[in-house]
């Protein structure tokens, strides 16, 4: 059996559009000891593919981290299969706040060293010694105390479009960097009540364990993250203290929690919180773009990228050679109005060029 996807995006989209059923977008994770991740990966792929499940799954010796969508008619069979594994029996499944059949187009399951890259090499660190879970009600009650500290353990571009009231940002794109940064930021507040949160719970669970490991006695984290909190708040009719949009790592790029728009278009600074990827395949920058700028720039992040996509295809290929464009995100460097691009690949000076458009590589 072929244990990988063999179709291009256009074909995958067409297949999903022709499906006669709805798909349910789900995320789940579990820290557990998996002796043979490679073998289990292949077994998992076969079973999920048989159920028509699409999505992105990471497996490691420390557990599983999954974001998938499942055909609605297969949902109960999907749960039964997951719960048939002892370490997944009864696992919480976070149902997406906003559903979209196209949240995932293919099934990808990868074996990694860790399900969350944390940079922790301390053998005395224990993930099972973590902070206390807080329900939505308990979170709301605890945050009524102005002395309670709420820390967002997501990337800057997630925080930018939505976060909990009065939450503190740990300004980095890498979780492995955020962990020591959070410890340092809170070093003078060790005895305060500290609540950590993330999208679905996996990062803040490890972060709360890391804080406890470094001597913080009163650490909590929201059970199931923003997604479970929001669904619970709706079900129980309690106030939702999250403001704006919850960024998600699938084709949707976000789900609306409140109507508040707290971010700005990265091109014209008008109110906007819609993330997109630059349509230029030699860029693919993740940034916020309003509808007006999307029209003006033809879905690109700059005039230069717009010019690039109109070049002959062979010239584009030459200009793209030897460069990895897969992980670029737009961010602020802390100075007002100073827009820079991650990893130093993009210009800080508007006059600096990304591409040598008049001289293809090799000439």
pLDDT in tens, 78-101: 999 999 999 999 999 999 999 988
Question: Residues near 167 by Cβ (< 8 Å), separated by ≥ 6?
Answer: 150, 151, 152, 159, 197
Q: Which pLDDT belongs to residue 173?
A: 85
Residues 143 and 178 in one domain: yes
Q: What is the CATH number of the domain that holds 204?
A: 3.40.250.10
pLDDT tens profile 206-258 = 999 999 999 999 999 999 999 999 999 999 999 999 999 999 999 999 999 99
Among residues 288, 286, 232, 282, the alpha carbon closest in space to that of 262 is found at 288
Minimal CA–CA distance to 118: which of 80, 159, 174, 165?
A: 174
Task: Categorize the per-residue pLDDT at 361 as very low, low, confident or very high, splitting at 50, 70 and 90.
Answer: very low
- The residue assigned the tokens 């244990």 is 3
Instruction: Provide the pLDDT for residue 328.
Output: 63
Q: What is the mean pLDDT of residues 121-148?
A: 95
Out of 111, 141, 176, pick the residue that ends a domain: 111
Q: In terms of domains, do 208 and 274 share one?
A: no
- Whether residue 199 is found in the same domain as residue 269: no
Dihedral angle of Cα 298, 301, 304, 305, to the nearest 10 degrees: -70
Look over the chain and give the mean of its residue pLDDT values, rounded to a whole number: 88
Do 267 and 233 share a domain, yes or no? no
* Residue-range definition of the domain harbouring residue 292: 263-363
pLDDT of residue 354: 53
Crossing angle of helices 202-213/175-185, nearest 10°? 40
Residues 281 and 338 in one domain: yes
What's the rounded mean pLDDT across residues 132-146? 97
- Distances from the Cα of 321 to the Cα of 316, 324, 362, angstroms: 9, 9, 10
**Per-residue pLDDT reduced to its tens digit, 245-282:** 999 999 999 999 999 999 999 999 999 999 999 999 88
pLDDT digits (tens, 9 = 90+) for 20-39: 999 999 999 999 999 999 99
pLDDT confidence of residue 260:
97
pLDDT number for residue 3: 65
Residue 4 counted as domain residue: no
- Beta strand extents in 72-187 (DSSP E only): 94-95, 107-111, 132-134, 149-152, 162-164, 168-169
Confidence of residue 43 (pLDDT cuts 50, 70, 90): very high
Residues 59 and 157 in one domain: no
192 and 231 part of one domain = yes
Q: Is the pLDDT of residue 7 over 80?
A: no
Measured between alpha carbons, how far is residue 256 from residues 28, 134, 161, 216, 273 in Å?
20, 23, 10, 33, 10
User: Band of the pLDDT at 320, cuts 50, 70, 90?
Assistant: confident
Give the helix, strand, coil percentages of the chain, each rounded to 5. 30, 20, 50
Residue 116 lies in a domain: no
User: From start to end of 135-279, where are the E strands?
Assistant: 149-152, 162-164, 168-169, 194-197, 219-222, 242-246, 255-256, 275-277
Q: What is the pLDDT of residues 47-79, one digit of tens each?
A: 999 999 999 999 999 999 999 999 999 999 999
What pLDDT, in 10s, does the model give residues 328-360?
Answer: 666 544 323 333 333 333 333 333 345 444 333
Residue 120 belongs to a domain: no
Map tokens 């490991």 to a residue. 213
Number of domains the chain contains: 3
Q: What are the residue numbers of the active site?
A: 198
């Amino acid at each position: 059996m072929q244990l990988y996807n063999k179709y291009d995006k256009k074909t995958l989209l067409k297949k999903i559009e022709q499906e006669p059923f709805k798909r349910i977008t789900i995320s789940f994770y579990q820290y557990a000891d998996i002796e043979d991740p490679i073998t289990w990966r292949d077994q998992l792929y076969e079973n999920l593919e048989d159920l028509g499940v699409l999505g992105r799954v990471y497996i490691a010796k420390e557990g599983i981290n999954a974001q998938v969508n499942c055909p609605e008619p297969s949902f109960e069979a999907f749960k039964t299969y997951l719960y048939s594994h002892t370490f997944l029996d009864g696992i919480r499944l976070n149902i997406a706040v906003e559903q979209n059949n196209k949240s995932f187009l293919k099934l990808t399951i990868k074996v990694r060293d860790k399900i969350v890259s944390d940079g922790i090499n301390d053998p005395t660190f224990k993930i099972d010694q973590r902070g206390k879970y807080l329900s939505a009600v308990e979170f709301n009650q605890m945050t009524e105390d102005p002395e309670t500290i709420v820390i967002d353990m997501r990337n800057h571009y997630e925080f930018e479009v939505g976060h909990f009231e009065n939450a503190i940002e740990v300004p980095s794109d890498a979780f492995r960097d955020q962990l020591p940064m959070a410890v340092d930021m809170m070093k003078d507040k060790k005895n305060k009540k500290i609540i950590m949160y993330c999208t679905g719970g996996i990062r803040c669970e490890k972060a709360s364990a890391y804080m406890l490991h470094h001597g913080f006695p009163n650490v909590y984290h929201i059970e199931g993250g923003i997604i479970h909190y929001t669904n619970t708040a709706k079900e129980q009719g309690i106030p939702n203290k999250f403001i704006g949009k919850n960024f998600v790592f699938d084709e949707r790029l976000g789900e609306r929690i409140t109507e508040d728009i707290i971010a700005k278009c990265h091109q014209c600074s008008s109110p906007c919180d819609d993330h997109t990827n630059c349509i230029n395949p030699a860029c693919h920058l993740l940034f916020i773009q309003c509808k007006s700028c999307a029209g003006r720039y033809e879905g690109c992040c700059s005039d230069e990228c717009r010019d690039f996509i109109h070049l002959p295809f062979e010239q584009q290929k030459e200009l793209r050679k030897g460069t990895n464009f897969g992980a670029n995100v737009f961010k602020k460097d802390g100075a007002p109005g100073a827009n820079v691009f991650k990893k130093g690949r993009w210009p800080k000076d508007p006059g600096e060029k990304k591409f040598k458009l008049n001289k293809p590589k090799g000439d």
